[in-house]
Structure 1
Amino acid sequence: MFELHASKVGNLKNDVLSGLTVALALVPEAVAFAFVAGVEPLVGLYAAFMVGLITSIFGGRPGMISGATGAMAVVMVSLVAIHGVEYLFACVVLTGILQILAGIFKLGKFIRLVPHPVMLGFVNGLAIVIFLAQLGQFKVTNEAGELEWMMGTQLYTMAGLIVLTMAIIHFLPKLTKAVPSSLVAIVVVTILVQSLGLDARTVVDFVRDMTNDPSASIAGGLPQFAIPNVPFNLETLKVIFPFAIVLAAIGLIESLLTLTLIDELTGTRGRGNRECIAQGASNAVNGFFGGMGGCAMIGQSMINVNSGGRGRASGITAALALLGFILFASGLIEIIPLAALVGVMFIVVIGTFEWSSFRILGKVPKADAFVIVLVSGVTVATDLAVAVVVGVIVSALVFAWEHAKHVNVKRTVDEQGSTVYEVHGPLFFGSISNFLEQFDVSNDSDDVIVEFKNSRVADHSAIEAIDTLAERYIASGKTMHLRHLNSECKQLLTKAGSLVEINVIEDPEYHIATDELA
C-alpha cells in the first residue's frame, strides 16, 4: 500500500537509530496534543514516554509507536475544562481498564470487519490530517501575543529548510542506508541553522507559543506516582465513565487500524488482542503517573518503519530517548528547527496517502468509491474513530441492500400436485420483504413445500419471516412443509405448531453465527 524505503528485515542498530528519530519527532507532537487537551506540556511528554515504553515492551505489534494523540486529546479537553486535570487522570485509568477488558474478551478480532474501502479512506484522511497539523508550525506570535502566519524572510527560510529536509530523506537512501535518512536530515538542518544563524523557529519557540510562556521549556523530572485526587464515589464514576468509554473506543480503533497498516507494510502479522491489553495497561499507568494517556500514532509509526525500525527495541529506544530529553538534554532538543520536523512529517504524508485511489475511483463500484471519499472527509472533519465507524456502517448497509436483491423464489408443481417453492439466495433482515412477496398463498395447492437447499437462513429476522409465512398458510387452511432448513430454525419455529412439517432426514448441519465460530 505504501511506497516507502522500507526493509522487511530489522536489526538492533536500525531499531536504535530509528527510535532516536522518532523521539525527536515526538516532542512537538506531545506538546501540541497537551495544549489541545488543556494540560501542561509535561503531561503530554510523560504520556508519550509511558505509553510508548509499555506498548513497545508488551504490545502485539513490534515497531509500532504509541504516544499522546490528537484524537484522544479533543475528547479530554471538555473534561479538563469542567472538572480539572485530576479527573482526567482518573478517567485515563478507567480507560485503561476498559481496554484491558476488551483484550481479555478478544474484541480485537472485530477489526477484521473493516472493509478495504474504509481502510483506503482512513489512510487518505489521516494523511490530510497530518498535513493540516503541520500548517500550525507556520504561525508565529505577534506583539499582541496572538498567532499569525509567517511572512517574508522567515517564511522563505522555513520553506527552504523543509525542502532541504525532504530532499535528504528522499535521496540519501539511494547512496546509503547505514543510518536513517530522517535522522540525518534533522541533524544536518539543525547544524546548518545554528552555524549560519538563520532566523528559523525551533522546538522551544513552539513550546513557548503553545503555553504563552516566554520561559517555558521541556525540561522536567521523572514522573511521580500519585493516586488521582478525586472523590471515590458514584458521582465521580458518572462524570468519567462516558469519557472513558469514548477514549477507550477511539484508542483501540486507531491502534488496531495502525497495527493493520504496519502489518501490510512489513509483511508480518501483529496480535490485536495483546495490543488491546498493552494499550490498556499503558493508559492505566498513565493515570497514576501524571500522563494524559494515548494510543498508537500512525505518523510516528511510519517514520519508524521508514527508518528501518522493526523490533521492540525501536519503540523502547524512542520512549527512553524522550525521557532522556526531558531529564538531561532539553537544551539540545529545543534548538532543533521545526522545519526539519515538518519536513519529516511531509514525507510521512506523501508515503501514507494512497495515491492509487485516484486511479481506482472510476473502476471500483460507486458505493466503494463513495465510502473512500466519505471516510476521508469525515476523518478530516471529525476524527479517525468516527470516520471508521461511519464507513463500516455505510459499507454494511450497502452490502445488505445489494444482497437483499439476490433472494428469488422459483414456483413449480410436483408429481403429487404439491406447490414447490425453491428459495435461492441468502435470507436475512434485508431480504425478508422480497422473500415474502414471492409467495401466492391464495392460489397455491393445499400442500406446499418450501425448499431451502439453495438458501442460507442468516438471522432471527429470517426465522420470523418463515414463521410469518407458515401462519399465512395455516390461516388459509393449508399445510406447509419446510425442507433442508437448519436446526436452529426448527427449534424457533413454534407458532406454526403441528401443521408445519420439517424434513429432518436431509437437513444439513450448519449454524447461525455464534460466538464459537467467531
Structure 2
Amino acid sequence: MFNLISRSNYSIKNDLLSGLTVALALVPEAVAFAFVAGVDPMVGLYAAFFVGLLTATIGGRPGMISGATGAMAVVMVGLVAEHGAQYLFAAVVLTGILQILAGVFKLGMFIRMVPYPVMLGFVNGLAIVIFLAQLGQFEVVNQLGEKQWMSGEMLYWMIGMVALTMAIIHFLPKITKAIPASLAAILIVSGLVIWLDAPIPNVIDFVRGESGNPDATLAAGLPSFSIPQVPMTLETLSIIFPYALILAAIGLIESLLTLSLIDEMTETRGQGNRECIGQGSANFVCGFFGAMGGCAMIGQSMININAGGRGRLSGITAALSLLFFILVGSSLIEQIPLAALVGVMFMVVLGTFEWASINMINKVPKSDAIVIILVSGVTVLADLAIAVVVGVIVSALVFAWKQAKNIYAKKSVNENGSKIYLMHGPLFFGSIQNFQDIFSPQTDPEDIIVDFAQARVYDHSAIEALDTLAERYQRRGKTLHYRHLSPECKQLLKNAGDLVEVNVIEDPDYHVADSKLA
C-alpha cells in the first residue's frame, strides 16, 4: 500500500523537487479557495496539507496532487453562510464516509465509461477555468477597499514578470533538467522582483486583500483535533447530507477524471476504487482537524507531472513542505510575487488545453464535436461535475439513437412452412419501436420463429417488447417461438409461457463484465 515508486524510471530527486514546486503553487490556491468558501485561510491551507498527504500515501494514483479546490468550495459557501464553519466540518466528515463507501462498493470503475469527447471537453473547459482564475491576480484593492484592475507601472511589471516566468519554464529544460523549470522560474523571478523592488503584489498582499485584514499572516501552528461542534441530531443530518452528497460526487468525479488524464500522460494505470477510499479518508480526517476538505487538483497535478514527479513521494513532499511553510517559512513564502505563480499556472493552461481538438472539430462526427463544446462550456459556466454528467448523458442518448436504427431481420420460410425472422442488432429501450414494426401478425402464417442468434436482448424494456409481441400473435391464435435467448430472458417472459423454444446447446449464457483492475 505504501509503495513510493510507481515506475522503473522513478527518481527521488525529481519527486522531491517537483513536490517543493507544487507546494509553492498550492499556497495562493488554498487561500483563494478558503475565501471562496467563506472560511479562514488556514482552513484551506490545512485542507491542502491533509488531503495532499493522505491521498498521496494511500490513494490510487501516484503523482497526482490533491488539495482544497474551487469546485468544492463553491458548494461549501452556502452551508458556511447559513450555518457556520462547524457544520461545514461535519459535512466534510460525512463526505469522506460517502466517498469511502463508493470505493468499497467499487464505483470507481464507472469512470472508465466516460466517453473521450467528454474527457476532451473536461480538459479544455478546466484549462479555461484555470486561466480565468489567474486573471483575478491582476486586481488590486484600492484605498476604499474596492477591487480594481492594475494599471500603469504595476501592470507593466506584472505582465513582464509573468512573461519571464513562462520563458524560463519553456527554455530552461532545453539547457538543463537538473532542477524543475517551474521551481527555477519561481526562485529566479522572486529574487529579481525583491532585488529590483518591483511594484507588484506578492502572496501576503493577496491574503490581506482578500481578507480585508492588513495584519493578516500565513504563520500558524499545528492543526488540532476537535469533533465538529454540531448537535448530533437528525435535523443536523438533514442539513449536512445534501451538501455532503454533492461534495462527494464532485470530489470523486474531478479526482477520477484527473486520474484518467494522468494515466494517459504517464502510460500507467491508476486504481479508481482505491483513489475513492483515499479521497474519502482524507476528507474524513479533514473534518476533525478544522479543514475544508478537497479533491484532486488538475493544475497542480500537471505541474508535478511536468516537473518529473511520478511517485507518491512527490505528493507527500508537497504536503509536508506546505506544512513547513506554515510553521516555519511563512515569512519567505509571503514574499513570493504573484506574477511567478501566475506564470506557472499559465504554462499549465497551455499544457492542459488539448489544442489538437480544435482541428478535430471538422473531422469527428458532429455529435462528438457538440459534446466537446458543450462540456467545455458547461465546465466554464457552471461546474465540472455537472459538465461531465451532462456530457455523459448526451453521449449516451446519441449512442442510443444510433444503435436504435441498427436492428433489422432477415425473413425466410422453412420446409415446414414456418416463417423465420433472423434478428440482427441490439434490442433495448431505444430500438423497441423499430423492432415491433418489423413484424406483421395479421399476414404471417400460423407458425413464426424469431431467432436471436445474431441479436442481443439488453434490458427490461426489451423483455416487455418480447412479451407484447407474443401477446399480439396469441390474440390471433398463432404460435410464436423465440430461439437463442439467454436463460435470464426466458425466465422473464411470463406471458410467452410455452411459446419460448428452449435450445440448451445453442442458447447463449451472458455474463456480467467485471473490473478487478479498478
- Fold match, TM over 0.5? yes
Pairwise CA distance, 1:147: 0.4
Pairwise CA distance, 1:8: 8.5
The amino acid of 2:87's aligned partner reads: Y
| SS, match of residue 456 in structure 1 | strand
Q: Is the 8 A contact 1:8 1:266 kept in 2?
A: no
Q: Is the 8 A contact 1:457 1:512 kept in 2?
A: no
Deviations 1:290-323 (A, max 9, x none): 0000000000000001111111111111101111
Q: Is the 8 A contact 1:459 1:512 kept in 2?
A: no
| SS, match of residue 441 in structure 1 | coil
Question: Partners of 1:103 and 1:41 in 2: how far apart?
Answer: 30
Question: Partners of 1:97 and 1:453 in 2: how far apart?
Answer: 46
- Correspondence for 2:3: none
The amino acid of 1:238's aligned partner reads: S
- Correspondence for 1:4: none
Q: What 5-or-longer segments of structure 1 have no aligned partner?
A: 1-6
Question: Partners of 2:462 and 2:97 in 1: how far apart?
Answer: 38
Q: Is the 8 A contact 2:484 2:508 kept in 1?
A: no
Query: Is 1:464 aligned with 2:464?
Result: yes
- Correspondence for 2:248: 248
- Correspondence for 1:121: 121
Q: Is the 8 A contact 1:407 1:427 kept in 2?
A: yes
Pairwise CA distance, 1:485: 1.2
> Equivalences for 1:85-164 in 2 at 5 Å?
85-164=85-164
| SS, match of residue 426 in structure 1 | strand
Deviations 1:447-490 (A, max 9, x none): 11111111011111111101100000000110001111111111
Question: Partners of 2:395 and 2:132 in 1: how far apart?
Answer: 27
Q: Is the 8 A contact 1:428 1:459 kept in 2?
A: yes
- Correspondence for 1:15: 15
**Identity of aligned pairs, percent?**
68
Q: What 5-or-longer segments of structure 2 have no aligned partner?
A: 1-6
Aligned residue pairs total: 511
- Correspondence for 2:352: 352
- Correspondence for 1:270: 270
- Worse overlay, 326-335 or 507-516: 507-516
**What stretches of structure 1 move > 4 A for 4+ residues in a row?**
512-518
- 1:200–1:240 CA distance, 2 compared to 1 (3 A): same
Deviations 1:23-50 (A, max 9, x none): 0000000000000000000000000001
The amino acid of 1:435's aligned partner reads: F
> Equivalences for 1:265-304 in 2 at 5 Å?
265-304=265-304
- Correspondence for 1:71: 71
Pairwise CA distance, 1:514: 7.1
TM-score normalised by length of structure 1: 0.97
Question: Partners of 2:47 and 2:320 in 1: how far apart?
Answer: 12
- Correspondence for 1:473: 473
| SS, match of residue 72 in structure 2 | helix
Pairwise CA distance, 1:504: 2.0
- Correspondence for 2:503: 504
Question: Partners of 2:128 and 2:513 in 1: how far apart?
Answer: 39
- Correspondence for 1:387: 387
Question: Partners of 1:336 and 1:373 in 2: how far apart?
Answer: 37
| SS, match of residue 426 in structure 2 | strand
Deviations 1:40-75 (A, max 9, x none): 000000000010011111111111100000000000
Question: Partners of 1:92 and 1:485 in 2: how far apart?
Answer: 48
- 1:516–1:177 CA distance, 2 compared to 1 (3 A): closer
| SS, match of residue 163 in structure 2 | helix
TM-score normalised by length of structure 2: 0.97
| SS, match of residue 442 in structure 1 | coil
Q: Is the 8 A contact 1:30 1:69 kept in 2?
A: yes
Pairwise CA distance, 1:280: 0.4
Question: Partners of 1:194 and 1:410 in 2: how far apart?
Answer: 80
Query: Is 1:443 aligned with 2:443?
Result: yes
| SS, match of residue 443 in structure 1 | coil
| SS, match of residue 245 in structure 1 | helix
Q: Is the 8 A contact 1:458 1:512 kept in 2?
A: no
